[in-house]
Amino acid sequence: MSMETTAWTQLHSVMNAQPESRPFARATLRRIGAFARPHRTRIAQFVVLGVATALLAVATPVLAGHVVDAIVTGDDEGTVVRLALLIALIAVAEAALGILGRRLSATLGEGLILDLRTAVFDHVQRMPVAFFTRTRTGALVSRLNNDVIGAQRAFSNTLSGVVSNLVTLLLTLAVMLTLSWQITLLALALLPVFVIPARRMGSRMARMQREAAALNAAMGTRMTERFSAPGATLVKLFGRPEQESEEFAARARRVADIGVRTATAQSVFITALTLVSALALALVYGLGGWFALRGTLEPGAVVSLALLLTRLYAPLTSLAGARVEVMSALVSFERVFEVLDLKPLIEEKADAREIGEGPVAVEFDDVRFGYPSADKVSLASLEEVASLDTRGGEEVLKGISFRAEPGQTVALVGSSGAGKSTIAQLLPRLYDVDEGAVCVGDEDIRDLTARSLRETIGMVTQDGHLFHDTVRANLLLARPTATEDELWDALRRARLDDLVRSLPDGLDTVVGERGYRLSGGERQRMTIARLLLARQRVVILDEATAHLDNTSEAAVQEALTEALEGRTAIVIAHRLSTIRAADQILVVEAGQIVERGTHDELLAAGGRYAELHRTQFEERDSAKVSNGIDQKDTKLDSIIATI
């Protein structure tokens, strides 16, 4: 079977492919237009440039025909030379305009994509924590990289030719009709071969683009998980390298397969159209030559028609390919807009107020809360599931009420899953309550600006998260304007200055992903230093020492003594010895406060707190006997009791 037959056979299968079942909404095009509106001046300039380029493209074949006629009729040499020089000048001008147009198109496309990428990033920043706990990181990053780049290709590559090709096509047809309407109509008889595959190919390419985007996101997610420090550790401890390699290769093979299918389909499409244009050119030479020999058509007109035909089918081929590119880009735009359409659950009011100066109180007033269902905070495509989990909304907190006066420490204790961390997450407004109110400085936090909440409330969690950046950058996250002396002061108060001075590059030492180049206790003290630097008036400690050994915990507790001084504090503690000096202890069980009081009052009451205290210290005493521990816990308790 010849190559031509193979090409037409594959083109036939493309033409008979099932069309895209879900048409693109006009709303998508309107939204793309909204992003393009600020760049309308450049768009107008580009259109004018495209028209000028099209005029030059049509002028050259006409002048070439005049050259042939001048030679045939025996005109003087000066006429031929002048026409040749004019053709050369047009070629130079066309090249210059082409470069200028490409630059203008690239500038326009990059500007539009910059706006789009920034909009997506800013929107994702506003999403609630629940969005990030459900979304696969690789899938989300793919939206900001692969899909935005896909849209960028349409503007940078396709837009540069659409306007000029369209104008060139119309002008070429007009000139060809004036030269010979018969030859022009016969050449146009092959036009359906361009139109029909273009329409069907666009739908086919859209389907393959969606499939490729989903596969790339899945592969990216797997790499993100496996290449992180905890993920790599887990694979080394429990994973099987051979199986991991096979699974990754299978995903990569599917990506490669669809890439081959896409490239093959595009190649077959363009090759078939090029073949049709060659056949049309043969038609022009044959029929035009016959007319010229009969004296009904000038020889120069035949040459002009042949050259114009190349200018006719080239724009047709380009425009047909542009439709394929645009359809693929629309898929990318739809995937990006899908993220933008996911409304943040937490919105700042237009008239939001700032928190007043001075010490502030914290109050929970009959707070009821249930975590939102997946359909309110996530997308099935970002979770890489067929459909979202419909569960959610069950009450986790059931009428929580308490008040921490300025400078007081309120401790939350209770069983795992009782709702302690949920209470802590509501205070900095990581979630909004369903009923009741959370107040800071006697103001409902829903009436306050997000910036003032960040400046007022600080939180230290048990994982001590740090970015893969320098010590300096991780500290400056809390207060970008901090001076060098202030950084060292915060490190000193966090009992970390000696360690940082011993590092190879001091403050400019990179701590590694999630701070894994530091020990657990060092990471925690780094987060405390960040808290001290921020100088926030309300501090939340969510089991900040839960996973530390006794030595690290003692160092962290000394740093916490500095951090809590003069601040209103909410402390969640697993070890009850760490909250003996709290002004008020709340015992939380099943989303309710079942007991409240001081350490001595709750022990005397003999309730749930006393039971937890007795169980915990019996376990500790047993561990002391079995391990021979003597003075360490006693020393630790004496340090903790000063908080």
pLDDT digits (tens, 9 = 90+) for 351-382: 899 988 888 899 999 999 988 887 777 777 77
Enumerate residues 6+ apart whose C-beta is below 8 A from 519: 552
Specify the pLDDT at position 332: 79
Structure tokens at 403: 């008040």
Eight-state DSSP code of residue 136: -
In degrees to the nearest 10, what's the CA dihedral of 184, 187, 188, 189?
Answer: 130
How far apart are alpha carbons 620 and 336 in whole angstroms? 54
Round the average pLDDT of the chain to a whole number and report it.
77
Contacts of residue 500, Cβ cutoff 8 Å, sequence gap at least 6: 471, 491, 506, 507, 509
- Give 12's pLDDT tier (boundaries 50, 70, 90): very low
Residue 430 confidence class, pLDDT cut points 50, 70, 90 = confident
In angstroms, rounded to a whole number, what is the distance separating the alpha carbons of residues 575 and 589?
16
Contacts by 4-10, CB closer than 8 A, 24 or more apart: 4/275, 7/268, 7/271, 7/272, 7/275, 8/272, 10/264, 10/265, 10/268
Average pLDDT, integer, range 428-456: 90
pLDDT one-digit tens code per residue, 335-344: 888 888 888 8
Band the pLDDT of 17: cuts 50, 70, 90.
very low
pLDDT-derived band at 619, boundaries 50, 70, 90: low
> What average pLDDT does the segment 589-605 reach?
92
Q: pLDDT value at position 282?
A: 79
Query: Any idea how long the chain is?
Result: 643
Q: Beta strand 395-404 with 584-589: parallel, antiparallel or unpaired?
A: unpaired
**What pLDDT is recorded for position 153?**
67
Which residue from 433, 445, 412 is spatially nearest to 368, judged by alpha carbons? 433
Q: Are 564 and 643 in contact (CB under 8 A)?
A: yes
Against a cut of 0.85, is the pTM above it?
no
> Is the alpha carbon torsion for 95, 96, 102, 105 positive or negative?
negative
- Segment 602-629 shows an average pLDDT of 71
* 625 pLDDT higher than 70: no
193 to 22, 85, 111, 271: CA distances (angstroms): 25, 38, 36, 12
Q: How far is Cα 13 from Cα 460, in angstroms, rounded to an integer?
A: 61
For 312, list phi and psi in degrees, rounded to 5: -85, -50
Tell me how many degrees the CA angle 94-54-163 measures, rounded to the nearest 5: 115
Contact, 143 vs 336, CB < 8 A?
yes
Tokens 């459900």 appear where?
134
CA 475 → CA 400, 457, 471, 500, 519, distances in Å? 34, 16, 6, 12, 17
| Rounded CA separation 499/320 (Å) | 64
- According to the CATH classification, is domain 25-126+135-340 in 1.20.1560.10? yes
Q: What percent of the chain has pLDDT over 90?
A: 10
| Whether residue 198 has pLDDT greater than 80 | no
Tokens encoding 121? 């990033």
**Mean pLDDT value of segment 561-586:** 81
Non-local (6+) Cβ contacts of 568 within 8 A are: 359, 360, 361, 362, 404, 405, 406, 407, 408, 409, 537, 538, 539
Q: What are phi and psi of 358, to 5 degrees?
A: 90, 175
Is the pLDDT assigned to residue 636 strictly greater than 50? no
What percent of the chain lies above the pLDDT cut of 70?
78
Query: Which tens digit of pLDDT belongs to each residue from 371-426?
Result: 888 777 777 777 766 666 666 668 899 999 999 999 899 999 988 888 998 999 89
Q: Domain extents for the chain?
A: 25-126+135-340, 398-411+419-576
* Eight-state DSSP code of residue 373: P
Residue burial 175-188, b: 16+ Cβ < 10 Å; e: rest? bbeebbeebbeebe
Q: CB atoms < 10 A from the CB of 324, how many?
A: 24
Residues 6+ apart with CB under 8 A from 201: 14, 265, 269, 320, 323, 324
Q: How far apart are alpha carbons 155 and 164 in whole angstroms?
A: 14
The pLDDT of residue 534 is above 60: yes
Ramachandran sector of residue 512 (left: φ over 0; alpha: ψ -120 to 50; beta: rest): left
Bridge partners, 597 (sequence order): 585
Per-residue pLDDT at 410: 92
For range 70-78, the mean pLDDT:
77
Which residues make Cβ contacts (< 8 Å) with residue 141, sequence separation at least 6? Answer: 220, 224
pLDDT of residue 384: 66
Does 632 score more than 60 pLDDT?
no
Determine the 3-state secondary structure of 404 from DSSP. Answer: strand
Give the integer Cα–Cα distance in Å for 311 and 108: 26
Which is the CATH superfamily of the domain at 398-411+419-576? P-loop containing nucleotide triphosphate hydrolases (3.40.50.300)
Q: Indicate if the pLDDT at residue 324 is higher than 80.
A: no
Confidence (pLDDT) at 106: 76
User: What digits encode the pLDDT tens for the residues 129-180?
Assistant: 878 877 877 777 777 777 777 776 666 666 656 767 787 788 888 888 888 8
Closest CA to 157 of 327, 33, 335, 326: 326
